[in-house]
Structure 1
Amino acid sequence: MKYEQQIGYRYPKGRFAMVSVYAFTGAAILASTIFSLLLFLSIDENPMMQALFGGLAIIFEAGKFYAWYEYGERRAHRNYTGALTALVFYLVLAAISIGGSVGGINSATNSAQSHISVEQAKVEAYNRQIASIDKQIELNNMAAQKYIEMERIATGVSRIQEQNKKLREEQQRLATERDSLPPVAQGSVIGLIDSLAKAFGTTSSQAQLGLVVFLSILLDFFAAFFVGLIGEENRFRHFFRRNDGITLANVRDIDLEPAGYLPHLKEEEELEMPASIEPEEPKSLLEQVSDALKGHQVTCTKKAVAKQFRLSAEEVDNVFEELTELGLVGKKANHHYHWIGQAEAV
């Protein structure tokens, strides 16, 4: 079992590590929930409908991460059918959550983009007015040329020059107002979107969509990873507490050495052991089970014996058949076993 293998080289995570894991998990789940709420709350402006859609978003988010936690639990217990069912539920809810995150992040980026667009529109309006004045001055100059050709400089040209003077003053005023506008503050996200668009040779809208989808998927997988880590650590802690008294012999049985084990000290102890003292032969599995049942260390059921000695279904069946043949265990009318404990040797 994988937890037996872990006991030999690691201990449960400390308080700081677990606090950090829970903090990261909570922050990721909260961010994912907020982005989903931004999308669901924009569906309807009715306060009651917003409350219903907001509750639905929270239920989806909580159910999604619980489904992922349940997937890890069932897979650890080798319930692969249940694990597949939990995984399907998670994938469906994750798709909804990623869609909500995409909508929420996209809404936030669009708000920043719209602010920049409004400021740029003001500048463009001034530029258009200045350009129209340039065209008017150009037309006036063409008319003045006609008056010069007609030798009506005193009447026509003087009037046109006066108009051009007023137009240039208006143009200068507009340019001053345009230049006095505060500079458009481009946020880091908008700058990143523009850089991605230039790097991949695409439009800003497509680069924005790709960035938003990537961030949404990354946020969801980030939270799912830490939820799975919490579940795995809880299962290991439970196994570690249950097997806190594991001996060196138990560790050797799983081909592991405990932390701090020094092989040379063991070799010295073996050399110091008198040669006349022969080590006792290890008891057979049947004898161990018989002693445990006789001393009431375990109840006389296949499930309890299999759990205590970590036996497979076939092995525990064989043990109970041998105990029944030896008359140590009897079977009741309801097919339950009970300890008899006859004097016959095992």
Structure 2
Amino acid sequence: MHYKNMLGYRYPKGPFAMISVYTFTGAAVITSTVFSLLLFLSIDDSPLMKGLFGTLAIIFEAGKFYAWYEFGERRAHKNYTGAITSLIFYLVLAAISIGGSVGGINSATNKAQSVIAIEQSKVLAYDRQIESIEKQIQLNNLAAEKYIEMERIATGVTRIQKQNNQLREQQIRLAAERDALPPVAQGSAIGLINSLADAFNVSTQIAQLGLVVFLSILLDLFAAFFVGVIGEELRFRRFYEHFGEIALTPHVMAMPVGFIEHKPEEDVVYSQRHQESEETTPPLTLAENVEKSVRDGVITCSKKAVAKHFMLAADEVDALFEQMMEAGVIAKKANHHYYLAPSVQA
């Protein structure tokens, strides 16, 4: 935890900032969970299996973000082994979540493309019918030419012309029905996929896969970032409660360089006496402070309590306890619990 360099300008975030952070985090977590549910619920159609797979998806999502929060906590306390373990758990669960998000987004995109394909197939069906009628008219015209060469205009050509007129009317009717169809509504996502395919000269399937993978990874990173922001803010608030109010006193921060504060005569005399008493009484060491706190009942004689109360890292607490055991201040029971030595308690 490196807040000592921040105490000159760092304050806890206000209500608006925290509401915004929690809102963004909640939206990202819910969206990621929904996409994972879309994938896991499609595995089996049985209601029981749907419930089990849905619960599994929610557990994976919740565990993923808690693992990331725990990674920040352990790294802040310099527990690097635990931080690496939490990071591995997060990466595994994030890979599963990204796969679920890819499946969910891809399913929604495929559904939109299938709707467009159905509408386009209707237009193509009308085009094929109109084209077949046109070919039939051309064949009739060839037959009419043969009848003209055979000088059978009154019988053959008249019948063919009448048939062609009927075909033309049918062709006009089909064209009117085709033009009356509503235009194919292309969503922005489909348009983006087509644009990416044209820009990178790839197929629409590859462009679609690349887009959904990018969006899925971006969603997880977005959620992880805000979870990290919440964890950092909670750690800072705990630190601020212990040391921030003293270090951030406006009177201390606002004093200009070289400022000499005027003090009443009584305060000067009290300050001189207090300074003389401090000079005669040497300051307590860290081990002595720990011993005094345990003896006074402020904290228990445990590494966790000492680390939390004195804001120490794990390796610093280990070294301190070894030093105090060598000095005979504390001792260890058979169950590895620490206690003040009898001579010290007396």
Q: Which bracket does the TM-score occupy, shorter chain normalised?
A: 0.7 to 0.9
Offset, 1:46: 1.5
Counterparts of 1:20 and 1:3 in 2: how far apart (Å)? 23
Match of residue 56 from structure 1: 56
The answer as to whether partners of 1:133 and 1:167 remain within 8 angstroms in 2 is yes
- Cα distance, 1:314–1:217 mapped onto 2, change above 3 Å: closer
Offset, 1:76: 1.2
Match of residue 261 from structure 1: 254
- Cα distance, 1:70–1:332 mapped onto 2, change above 3 Å: closer
Counterparts of 2:151 and 2:39 in 1: how far apart (Å)? 72
Counterparts of 2:202 and 2:306 in 1: how far apart (Å)? 66
- Cα distance, 1:99–1:259 mapped onto 2, change above 3 Å: farther
Counterparts of 2:87 and 2:286 in 1: how far apart (Å)? 41
Structural mapping, 1:26-65, within 5 Å:
26-65=26-65
Match of residue 227 from structure 1: 227
Secondary structure in 2 matching 1:175: helix
- Cα distance, 1:15–1:245 mapped onto 2, change above 3 Å: closer
Match of residue 254 from structure 1: none
The answer as to whether partners of 2:35 and 2:100 remain within 8 angstroms in 1 is yes
- Cα distance, 1:309–1:222 mapped onto 2, change above 3 Å: closer
Counterparts of 1:261 and 1:321 in 2: how far apart (Å)? 45
- Cα distance, 1:230–1:300 mapped onto 2, change above 3 Å: closer
Match of residue 83 from structure 1: 83
Offset, 1:83: 1.0
Offset, 1:319: 7.4
**What amino acid sits opposite 1:268 in the alignment?**
I
The answer as to whether partners of 1:69 and 1:231 remain within 8 angstroms in 2 is yes
Offset, 1:189: 1.1
Counterparts of 2:286 and 2:83 in 1: how far apart (Å)? 35
Counterparts of 2:85 and 2:332 in 1: how far apart (Å)? 38
Match of residue 172 from structure 2: 172
Offset, 1:24: 0.4
- Cα distance, 1:130–1:92 mapped onto 2, change above 3 Å: same
Counterparts of 1:300 and 1:47 in 2: how far apart (Å)? 52
**What amino acid sits opposite 1:169 in the alignment?**
E
- Cα distance, 1:180–1:294 mapped onto 2, change above 3 Å: closer
Offset, 1:52: 1.2
Counterparts of 2:251 and 2:112 in 1: how far apart (Å)? 57
**What amino acid sits opposite 2:24 in the alignment?**
F
Counterparts of 1:246 and 1:168 in 2: how far apart (Å)? 94
Offset, 1:167: 0.5
Offset, 1:233: 0.7
- Cα distance, 1:321–1:269 mapped onto 2, change above 3 Å: farther
Match of residue 145 from structure 1: 145
- Cα distance, 1:206–1:341 mapped onto 2, change above 3 Å: closer
State which drifts further: 14-23 or 193-202: 193-202
Counterparts of 2:47 and 2:174 in 1: how far apart (Å)? 46
**What amino acid sits opposite 1:26 in the alignment?**
G
- Cα distance, 1:20–1:309 mapped onto 2, change above 3 Å: closer
Structural mapping, 1:236-255, within 5 Å:
236-247=236-247
Offset, 1:94: 0.5
Counterparts of 2:163 and 2:30 in 1: how far apart (Å)? 64
- Cα distance, 1:128–1:263 mapped onto 2, change above 3 Å: same
Counterparts of 1:247 and 1:209 in 2: how far apart (Å)? 53
Match of residue 213 from structure 1: 213
- Cα distance, 1:292–1:113 mapped onto 2, change above 3 Å: closer
**What amino acid sits opposite 2:135 in the alignment?**
K
- Cα distance, 1:310–1:155 mapped onto 2, change above 3 Å: closer
Secondary structure in 1 matching 2:246: coil
Offset, 1:305: 7.0
**What amino acid sits opposite 1:149 in the alignment?**
E
Equivalent pairs, count: 327
Counterparts of 1:233 and 1:212 in 2: how far apart (Å)? 32
Task: Render the CA deviation track for 1:36-95: whole Å, top value 9, x for unaligned.
Answer: 111111111111211111111111111111111111111111111111111111111101
- Cα distance, 1:90–1:321 mapped onto 2, change above 3 Å: closer
Counterparts of 2:176 and 2:252 in 1: how far apart (Å)? 77
Secondary structure in 2 matching 1:4: coil
Match of residue 336 from structure 2: none
Q: Which runs of 5+ in 1 are unaligned?
A: 252-256
Counterparts of 1:94 and 1:321 in 2: how far apart (Å)? 44
Offset, 1:288: 7.8
**What amino acid sits opposite 2:50 in the alignment?**
Q
Q: CA RMSD in A?
A: 3.4
Counterparts of 1:333 and 1:129 in 2: how far apart (Å)? 94
Counterparts of 2:26 and 2:332 in 1: how far apart (Å)? 54
Offset, 1:339: 7.0
Identity score, percent: 60
Q: Which runs of 5+ in 2 are unaligned?
A: 334-338
The answer as to whether partners of 2:7 and 2:247 remain within 8 angstroms in 1 is no
